[in-house]
Amino acid sequence: MTVTDTAPTPGIRPAAADKPAERPARPFFSSGPCAKPPGWSTDRLATEVLGRSHRSKLGKARLAHAIDLTRHILRVPDTHRIGIVPASDTGAVEMAMWSLLGARPVTLLAWESFGEGWVTDAVKQLRLDPTVHKAPYGALPDLGAVDFSHDVIFTWNGTTSGVRVPDGDWIPADRQGLTIADSTSAVFAMDLPWDKIDVCTYSWQKVLGGEGGHGVLILGPRAVERLESHVPAWPLPKIFRMTKGGKLIEGIFTGETINTPSMLAVEDYIFALEWADGLGGLDALIARTNANAAALDAIVAARPWLDHLAVDPATRSTTSVCLKFADSAVAGLDEAGQAALVKKLAGLLEAEGAAYDIAGYRDAPPGLRIWCGATVDTADIVALGPWLDWAWAQLRP
């Protein structure tokens, strides 16, 4: 007589096969905050600065150290300023938009949720009349149609669609407008061309697995020139102000933050940067990311019920990889039914401790989103494949 240790969950058919014997050692596949670096633990963080003012000599030194390490790992040229700012990547993008726009016409590119958010801000909040190039989830708009006499705002990697720009070749060196690249799920995983980006924003909670709440703003010389020559037509909140008396507040970019940062989060970021440096820097981070993405691509290719949301492999993200159910696998199931299927599948894997937070973004088409950034181990991506099979066997329509 066989005795099962759990009763079947209502609405879920019995598994077609036994549960896989091996779980991912670190089943953290969230697209933000992302997995901590391998070997991370709280007792490995420097804590001398905790309880001290961020404006103390020690506090400013640690913030400056974080900025210097960022420049080193990302190979940011000395011509560019790097600042730690409030409110994650969103805060950094908002600072750039509110402080820099209005001097020229504006173009926005949108092919996923966050790009759409910047369109909303430009139209409804700043009340500009921008040119907008859109594409559906899974595709890019026509990059060749962009007018670079405009200021151009785009996401380098669409975190919620799994679609990225392939490179910076589509951005001319002799552009008249500024390029503002929301690069939060690209930085540290893709080699960004700093000569083509005037403003880069990101949050360290993505590829380096840092804690949330802080953003990083990188300004090229053309952006600094704009800040010092252009006064926006709208009022600027205090945390957006980067100039005083028509000159850049340089202290923001040497460790004198606009508001009080979490020094524990800063130390966490420093740990991740030092981990990355120990691996071999940016090239090593990119290699880990690419290996993870390749392992997941092999899983998708071997399963007829799975497919990539990104149509073109050349523009497929290597970090926030977004998947959908193959049309043949969910024939007759509408979008609401597919969304319910995603919720059940993600919940089943979470309950088993096999994968956390892999449901797609709420505004995206129903599907899975599996983070493949550098802090994830390739062995865990490989181990995830059989668990996807097991869950699908129980839930498939």
Q: What is the CATH number for 118?
A: 3.40.640.10
The SS3 of residue 149 is coil
Q: Which residue has the higher pLDDT, 164 or 8?
A: 164
CA distance linking residue 49 with residue 178, whole number of Å: 37
- CA 204-207-212 angle, 5° bins: 35
- pLDDT of 6 strictly over 80: no
Could you report the per-residue pLDDT of 81-138, keeping only the tens digit for each? 999 999 999 999 999 999 999 999 999 999 999 999 999 999 999 999 999 999 999 9
Look at residues 281, 247, 259, 277 and name the one whose alpha carbon lies nearest to residue 83. Answer: 259
The domain boundary, picked from 277, 305, 324, lies at 277
Look at residues 49, 65, 320, 321 and name the one whose alpha carbon lies nearest to residue 202. Answer: 320
Report H helices in the chain. Answer: 57-74, 88-100, 113-120, 221-229, 263-279, 282-301, 335-351, 378-395
196 and 306 inside one domain: no
115 and 210 inside one domain: yes
Q: With contact defined as beta carbons under 8 Å apart, do 396 and 18 qualify? A: no
Is 122 inside any structural domain? Answer: yes
Per-residue pLDDT at 17: 63
192 and 233 inside one domain: yes
101 and 172 inside one domain: yes
268 and 286 inside one domain: no
Please list the residues that pair with 154 across neighbouring strands: 181
Position 12 confidence tier, pLDDT thresholds 50, 70, 90 = very low
- Per DSSP bridges, beta strands 320-325 and 368-371 are antiparallel
Return the structure tokens found at 149: 């006499």
Range of the domain at 185: 45-277
Could you report the per-residue pLDDT of 48-86, keeping only the tens digit for each? 999 999 999 999 999 999 999 999 999 999 999 999 999
- Per DSSP bridges, beta strands 179-182 and 199-203 are parallel
199 and 92 inside one domain: yes
Look at residues 59, 65, 128 and name the one whose alpha carbon lies nearest to residue 269. Answer: 65
Is 32 inside any structural domain? Answer: no
Q: With contact defined as beta carbons under 8 Å apart, do 397 and 329 qualify? A: yes
- pLDDT of 7 strictly over 90: no
Is 365 inside any structural domain? Answer: yes
CA distance linking residue 198 with residue 222, whole number of Å: 6
Output the CA torsion sign for 226, 231, 237, 242: positive
If you average pLDDT over residues 231-258, what whole number do you get?
96
Length of the chain, please?
397
Per-residue pLDDT at 18: 84
The SS3 of residue 163 is strand
- pLDDT of 1 strictly over 90: no
Is 7 inside any structural domain? Answer: no
- Provide the number of structural domains found in the chain: 2
- pLDDT of 3 strictly over 70: no
Q: What proportion of the chain, given as a percentage, has pLDDT over 70?
A: 96
Q: Mean pLDDT score of the chain, rounded to an integer?
A: 95
- pLDDT of 14 strictly over 80: no
62 and 128 inside one domain: yes
Could you report the per-residue pLDDT of 280-311, keeping only the tens digit for each? 999 999 999 999 999 999 999 999 999 999 99
Look at residues 253, 258, 361 and name the one whose alpha carbon lies nearest to residue 317. Answer: 361
Is 37 inside any structural domain? Answer: no
Could you report the per-residue pLDDT of 193-218, keeping only the tens digit for each? 999 999 999 999 999 999 999 999 99
Please identify which residue in the block is written with the tokens 């173009």.
107
Is 36 inside any structural domain? Answer: no
- pLDDT of 11 strictly over 90: no
- pLDDT of 16 strictly over 80: no
Position 15 confidence tier, pLDDT thresholds 50, 70, 90 = very low
The SS3 of residue 121 is helix
179 and 197 inside one domain: yes
The domain boundary, picked from 277, 308, 335, lies at 277
Could you report the per-residue pLDDT of 326-370, keeping only the tens digit for each? 999 999 999 999 999 999 999 999 999 999 999 999 999 999 999
223 and 342 inside one domain: no
Rg (CA), the chain: 22
Could you report the per-residue pLDDT of 154-175, keeping only the tens digit for each? 999 999 999 999 999 999 999 9
Q: What is the CATH number for 316?
A: 3.90.1150.10
If you average pLDDT over residues 232-244, what whole number do you get?
96
Q: Which amino acid is at 62?
A: R
238 and 332 inside one domain: no
The domain boundary, picked from 215, 248, 277, lies at 277
Is 23 inside any structural domain? Answer: no
Return left, alpha or beta for 281; rule: phi > 0 is left, psi -120 to 50 is alpha, else beta. Answer: left
CA distance linking residue 166 with residue 156, whole number of Å: 9
- Whether residue 33 is preceded by a cis peptide bond, meaning omega within 30 degrees of 0, is yes
CA distance linking residue 105 with residue 101, whole number of Å: 8
If you average pLDDT over residues 186-197, what whole number do you get?
98
51 and 173 inside one domain: yes
235 and 314 inside one domain: no
Is 366 inside any structural domain? Answer: yes
Per-residue pLDDT at 336: 97
